[in-house]
Amino acid sequence: MKKILAITGIRSDYDLMSGLFRRLQADAGIDLRLLVGGAHMSETYGHTIDLIRRDGFTILHAIESLIDSDSLSSRLKTASIMLQGAVDAVANWEPDVIIYAGDREEVWIGAMLGTYLEVPTVHFYGGDHTETGHVDNPVRHAVSKLSTAHAVTVEEHRQRLLCMGEPASRIRVIGNISLDNFVHHQALSRQVLEKQMGLPTHITHYALVLFHPDPSEKGIAAEIFERILLALKTQGIAGCVGYPNTDPSNREIIDIIEKYRGDKNFFFYRNLDRDQFISMYKHASFIIGNSSSGILEAASIPIPAINVGLRQRGRMAGENVIFCNSDAQSIAVSIVKAISQPFLDLVTSMRNPYGDGDSAGKAYRMLKEMDLQSMRLKTEDALKLERAAKP
């Protein structure tokens, strides 16, 4: 029996990997267990450990680690608590492989556990890069150097890892696992969403609003978020608005949500199950904000995605993505473009550059086929690899 430990600290990284988790759990030769902490244990962010339990996954250990604060130090304190709480549980279980996804603090927890407990690791979604200087960049790249192997979404990301000195034998291009949920999902009807979620009947054509604070916009994140709401309202477009993640300045954004909670133009939600969220997404006219979902997943519906401000700048994006500045005029102009017929025609005919709906299968086969134990010691010299690559 092969024991695989998956680490998750927030709803977003869980959704990125849940398709693979289902594949692994269905394999009688694999014992999959999850190490759960961070925002999953917080009522503020929906207590999403309940979703993991409803999905039927075995939880090795749940760690109440989130410092539910709005400070620069809170994420670091949260990570330290989760690492301290995880060491004995992971060491005692002795997994054969540890897997983790993305660029939040949970990935370096997984990488450190694997490195010091001598367990092979696989990092998913490495090699990506943004231009903002967000902490996610160095965290993502540092974790790649600590990880045994890499499952990346596109060739560009593979090339970036090669430039960092990771040998090609450690890297597989598999696409984006979360897209599998979008490609194969059958949307619930509007009537069902109205009954299950309380989505108001008068909100018909709407934008999905997902906005998270970026450190480079920390002082004005709430202002940008409010500009998005006002731009939608001015143009007579309703908004289905999700809560922000746990990054600093999230409290100020939540304060804006409370300010507009009684406004009939908006429907605010804290947490939805996967079926409800994807269905609401598919019924939306477009997505606006700065979530990576607009870059990665919106093209699989397909709908336009407006990325406001600095977050996500520099990432590879499909033709459906409109990058705009954070001032009110730029936001308004981008909304007009997103709902124009020529742009909608362009979006309808595009394909998502991040995957075709079989990424979970590719990731599953990678974990089954790769001899990760033999690759655990990273003895390669980046300088020698560079010299060997030169003609």
pLDDT at 352: 92
Say how many Å lie between the first and final Cα of the chain, rounded.
45
Domain ranges within the chain, ordered by starting residue: 2-175+356-389, 188-348
Which uninterrupted H or E stretch holds 136?
helix 136-146
Comparison of pLDDT for 93 and 129, the residue scoring more: 93
With beta carbons less than 8 A apart as the criterion, state whether 122 and 148 touch.
yes
Q: Could you tell me the pTM of the whole model?
A: 0.85
Comparison of pLDDT for 134 and 80, the residue scoring more: 80
Residue type, 119: V
Secondary structure, 3-state, 304-332: CEEEECCCCCCCCCCCCEEEECCCHHHHH
With beta carbons less than 8 A apart as the criterion, state whether 303 and 286 touch.
yes
Does the structure show a pLDDT above 90 at 382?
A: no
pLDDT at 85: 95
**CATH code matching the domain that covers 2-175+356-389, chosen among 3.40.50.2000, 1.20.140.10, 3.40.50.300, 3.10.20.340:** 3.40.50.2000
Over residues 102-119, the mean pLDDT reads 95
pLDDT (tens digit, 9 = 90+) per residue, 175-208?
Answer: 999 899 888 888 999 999 999 999 999 998 999 9
Q: Which fold has domain 188-348?
A: Rossmann fold (3.40.50)
Does the structure show a pLDDT above 90 at 302?
A: yes
Which uninterrupted H or E stretch holds 287?
strand 286-289
**Cα pseudo-dihedral 197, 40, 180, 293, rounded to 10:** 80
Same fold: 2-175+356-389 with 188-348? yes
pLDDT (tens digit, 9 = 90+) per residue, 324-335?
Answer: 999 999 999 999
Beta pairing partners, 172: 151
Closest-CA residue to 277 (of 312, 231, 243):
243
Does the structure show a pLDDT above 80 at 322?
A: yes
71 falls in which pLDDT band (50, 70, 90)? confident
pLDDT at 391: 64
Does the structure show a pLDDT above 80 at 216?
A: no
**Cα pseudo-dihedral 216, 222, 227, 228, rounded to 10:** 80
pLDDT at 380: 87
